[in-house]
Structure 1
Amino acid sequence: MSWTGLAERVLDLRVTTTQATAVFVVVTAVGLAVLAARRQRRWLLAGLTAAAGAAVATVVLAAVLIDKVWRPFPDPLPAVVYLWSGLAIFAMALLGGRWFVRRRDRSRPAVGAGLVAAAVAVLLCAAGGINAVYDAYPTVRAVLGRTDYRTVPFDASLAPQAVSGQDPPRPGNWVPPDDLPQTGAVTKTSIPGAVSRFSARAARIYLPPAYFAAPRPDLPVLVLLAGQPGSPDDWLVGGRLTEIMDAYAAGHRGLAPIVVLADGTGGRLDNPLCVDSHLGNAATYLTVDVPEWVRAHLQVDPDPRAWAVGGLSYGGTCALQLATTRPDVYPTFLDMSGQAEPTLGNRNTTIRDVFGGDAEAFARNNPADLLARNRYPDSAGAFVVGLDDAEYRGAMERLTAAARAAGMDVHLTELPGAHSFAVWSAGLEKEMPWLGHRLGLDAP
């Protein structure tokens, strides 16, 4: 095997599997043992106790500040995240203790490279263990930020094509040329908040192979949203978006939806609840600015029946909000592990801080309330959740039943896993045949 081939195999190694986590556990144990090992009785009695106490106190304080005071996330962090964080802090406390002891004993050298290496190994394994919880960076390539998909600049070549004397072909009767690319491509561009004034990060847009043909067909659109915390890049890294879409296109003559990875939060830790409020007009941005911009700058089917919105976690909650508040814009949705309702942690806090204490305004933006009040006979959607997702599975089951009772054509897909990209990427892959049919990719 060549060095290039070996490097590619290393880059494609998965780092979020059960086996990888087992390696992280073993290396962490060895690293902590190296840091803790010292023959002096005083160190064993006082040094280890002080380091462990510092780690526990730091983690407890962080949990209180994050989950009770700061609350940057709508739900508490999993206990395993705090456990890995505590082990990392414990390693650093041990290293600091060893350095302090050696500094007092002038006859001994400074902390050796072996101790520093042990501490670094524990830190890396802790990061790997936390990453494995969410499957956010599934391979070495993803961890290093190395992309493996085709990119193109956003320029005039991507603008809608003018076909003299006739309409662009429909996907169902479009004939792919012999030189059709085997893969799609990703481009990056800003979608301004012309109406909403929402401050959005740049979008990523997946264009299927059919988009690079002449003439190209009018293609359907999937607006796909990340979670919170998150960014538009998340679906490209942990979500395996290009791999899933290219595989679908390979079996459908190069056809797939144009996927717009729009920014639904405005910042990695921001949570505008997918509504129009003092936190930002996220709803107007996603239902007015994004569709109008896409129709003006890309060759898409303008019919709302060819449009869908989807997302994971916060993005799934947002997708259902938009499908219930603006079914005229998004009559099709994918809610993957969404919440029971838009929240900043609890209903009272949400109503007070976002809706100025107006419970009815909250109800007008809460899918569960809207599904109980209205009928949606022209809407359809897919709910996806992990079988081990204790925090969200019940909500997905209840919302599926409520949507069905409101006249929607919906189904629930439950997959192995918890609240992670392993579920969301598998969910998108599984739902693509249904979504493609719903958006008219096989219609003449």
Structure 2
Amino acid sequence: MFDWLLAIRLDRPELLVWVGGAAVLLAIVLLTGRRTVRGWLTMLLVASGGALLAYATAWLLGDVFDVFGIELTPVTRAWAAVGFAGAALAIAAIVRTRAWRVVVASLAIPAFLLIGAVGVNQDFGEFATVRAALGISPYQSFSALPAARGTTTTWQRPADLSSEGRVEHVDIPATTSGFAHRDALVYLPPAALTAHPPALPVIEAFSGQPGEPADLFASAGIAGILDRFAASHAGLAPIVVVPDQLGAPDRNPMCVDGPLGNSATYLTVDVPAWISAHLPVSASRTDWFIAGFSQGGTCSIQLGAAHPGRYGGILDISGEVVPSIGPTTIAQGFSGSATAYEAAAPSAILAAHTPYADTVGVFGYGSDDSRYGPGVRRVAAMASAAGMRTTTFVSDGTAHDWHTVHTVFERALPVITARFGLA
């Protein structure tokens, strides 16, 4: 009944025109009747105070206390200022005014805050639809697939091939690791949905932290990118499995086996074992990539570099130079062992496995990501020095956000699929 509402796109540029127009209209209504210079100045000061409060809050949370773990962009700060300024204006309009304006102002307070939130969301790219913003999953449960028959080079496209792939959720058991986890998501290209699928390449990918597996689909839109690739390659595209490397949105086991959970074993033993047993995938290491964004990018270089016999390629988007949960990293994540912490750094892992005879390393970051971008370049240089064949992509005009993930993944896919022999 409400599918149309849930399907409303929150990532369309034209939405900003509508919400911007709504903000102006609401402001005009609230300012109507202010006939004196003093009245206008009062409202201007109130709105300015609201905007300054927004900037101060962003500075404290983003720059001083680093609550978000990323640098808030000027665009995000500006939209927060719009929301706070409008809300302050509405609150001031309630005082000593007519009853009808009190009603309008009361409705305008949440409306202005919503307008600001829409602008911030467009800048960061977190929620693509109302459905995603409400946390309602559109994905069906995983259904068993036929075993692989033949290879991608011998496979013939059937007449009834689907035009789109499918995303399904599944519980991948932590048989060996015992790691507490949430459901994984699996993207199946059209070729995987046929009666006789070929042995397909696979990408094991991770979202960031805080986050969940769905973010790579709902926020980064990788299913659409893969569908477009499949449409021009006779239905062939890599299968993408997105397991939960965190356990909960606010957790970060740092992709190691430790006090916070045996994340590394879950991701490199349990998940690959399930993939091989339940999906039509190739057994060759050259057909396996490991990928991730932010904390997930850190995981991809840690695990991919540590297991070159399992993964033939790595995609690190905006990852860290070292795994971290702040000042308590060593105490909580490594039982106080500085030696164990140092061994978990990508630099140490790369040094321990140098030289890499046949591993592809793909790296990416946003041009406006001043915090993580330099680190990505540094890790890419270390990977290249260790023998990996590296490629780096820079997403112009984006920062540490899902726009970067979308752009880098789209640009990296030809490199990845060339490795798979699908290009």
Does residue 358 of the first structure (1) align with residue 337 of the second (2)?
A: yes
Give the stretch that moved more between structures: 201-210 or 130-139.
130-139
Name the structure 1 match of 2:298. Answer: 317
Note the 1:13-28 alignment, pairs <5 A: 15-17=11-13, 20-21=15-16, 24-25=19-20, 27-28=22-23
Does residue 91 of the first structure (1) align with residue 91 of the second (2)?
A: no
- 1:322 CA drift (Å): 1.0
Note the 1:200-279 alignment, pairs <5 A: 200-279=181-260
Name the structure 2 match of 1:410. Answer: 390
Query: What do you get for the CA RMSD once the two structures are aligned?
Result: 3.3
Does residue 191 of the first structure (1) align with residue 161 of the second (2)?
A: no
Instruction: Go from structure 1 to structure 2 and tell me whether the alpha carbon gap of 1:373 and 1:204 turns closer, same or farther (over 3 Å shift).
Output: closer
State the Cα deviation string for residues 42-65 of structure 1 (Å, max 9, x = none).
876777756765775576467546
Partner-residue secondary structure (3-state), 1:236: helix
CA–CA distance in structure 2, aligned partners of residues 31 and 350 of structure 1: 47
Instruction: Go from structure 1 to structure 2 and tell me whether the alpha carbon gap of 1:186 and 1:351 turns closer, same or farther (over 3 Å shift).
Output: same
Name the structure 2 match of 1:179. Answer: 160
CA–CA distance in structure 1, aligned partners of residues 175 and 168 of structure 2: 21
Instruction: Go from structure 1 to structure 2 and tell me whether the alpha carbon gap of 1:126 and 1:181 turns closer, same or farther (over 3 Å shift).
Output: same
Does residue 169 of the first structure (1) align with residue 147 of the second (2)?
A: no
Note the 1:45-444 alignment, pairs <5 A: 53=49, 56=52, 60=56, 64=60, 73-78=68-73, 80-101=75-96, 108-109=98-99, 111-138=101-128, 153-156=141-144, 158=145, 160-161=146-147, 168-345=149-326, 349-375=328-354, 376-419=356-399, 420-441=401-422
Structure 1-normalised TM-score?
0.81
State the Cα deviation string for residues 125-162 of structure 1 (Å, max 9, x = none).
21111112212334678668899x9x654234x2x43x
State the Cα deviation string for residues 212-263 of structure 1 (Å, max 9, x = none).
2222212221111111222111121222222111111122221111111211
Amino acid in the other structure paired with 1:92 = A
The answer on whether the counterparts of 1:224 and 1:261 sit within 8 Å (CA) in structure 2 is: yes
CA–CA distance in structure 1, aligned partners of residues 36 and 335 of structure 2: 61
Instruction: Go from structure 1 to structure 2 and tell me whether the alpha carbon gap of 1:101 and 1:263 turns closer, same or farther (over 3 Å shift).
Output: farther
Q: Which runs of 5+ in 2 are unaligned?
A: none
- 1:352 CA drift (Å): 4.0
Structure 2-normalised TM-score?
0.85
Q: Which runs of 5+ in 1 are unaligned?
A: 1-6, 103-107, 162-166
- 1:403 CA drift (Å): 0.7
- 1:205 CA drift (Å): 0.7
Instruction: Go from structure 1 to structure 2 and tell me whether the alpha carbon gap of 1:62 and 1:434 turns closer, same or farther (over 3 Å shift).
Output: closer
Name the structure 2 match of 1:3. Answer: none
- Count how many residue pairs are aligned between Structure 1 and Structure 2: 417
Amino acid in the other structure paired with 1:155 = S
CA–CA distance in structure 1, aligned partners of residues 259 and 100 of structure 2: 54
The answer on whether the counterparts of 1:180 and 1:209 sit within 8 Å (CA) in structure 2 is: yes
- 1:405 CA drift (Å): 0.5
The answer on whether the counterparts of 1:35 and 1:119 sit within 8 Å (CA) in structure 2 is: no
CA–CA distance in structure 2, aligned partners of residues 266 and 403 of structure 1: 29
State the Cα deviation string for residues 403-433 of structure 1 (Å, max 9, x = none).
1110011111123232232222122222222
